[in-house]
Amino acid sequence: MFLKILQIFIKVLMVFSTRIRDFGFAFYILLSRGDHLSFKTTPMSLVRTFSMMLDEIDFLGTYVKPYYLTTEDDRSFFLFPLPAFFILGLFMVLMPILILNLLIALAVGDIESVRRNAQLKRLAMQVVLHTELERKLPKMLLQHVDKCELIE
């Protein structure tokens, strides 16, 4: 079951990789000039965006504190606050919520197929059990009980 969900997650991640890339580049453009170490380079921005997708947004440290901090020349660390908060809001709605709900829906959909497979395996195990039991019974008893046809 775990491997099946992992397979589904990888497939979903392939679909969402373009979104991760797009948001990563957007965050890099908006936040790379400030004091954000996690958005200084493009690869770090992509890794941070992937981390944010898994509910590690760190809203206070990454967005609120730099918004209120200013440097000596009274310039904010946050150069583009409105677009950054807009992109962040869009990201928070689209990525973590959608991907988690999608994974839950896919897992629930797969539970039905797993249940069907489990039922077939249970029937196969019952057949094997009955066959083994018949082999262990004495032949005289089997000849007495065995019927060629069943009339109901």
CA dist 33 → 20, 29, 80 (Å): 20, 8, 10
Q: What is the topology classification, in CATH, of domain 2-119? A: Helix Hairpins (1.10.287)
Q: Is 33 helix (H, G, I), strand (E, B) or coil?
A: coil
Q: Where are the domains of the chain?
A: 2-119
The backbone region for 55, taken as left when phi is positive above 0, alpha when psi lies in -120 to 50, beta otherwise, is left
CA-based radius of gyration for the chain: 29
Return d(Cα 58, Cα 50) in angstroms, integer.
13
Q: Residue 104 is inside which H or E element, if any?
A: helix 98-136
- Does position 26 have pLDDT exceeding 90, yes or no? yes
Q: Pick the more confident residue, 58 or 122.
A: 122
For the entire predicted model, the pTM comes to 0.61
- Nearest Cα to Cα of residue 91 among 31, 40, 35: 31
What are the tens digits of pLDDT across the range 44-82?
999 998 888 887 888 877 778 777 776 555 555 677 888
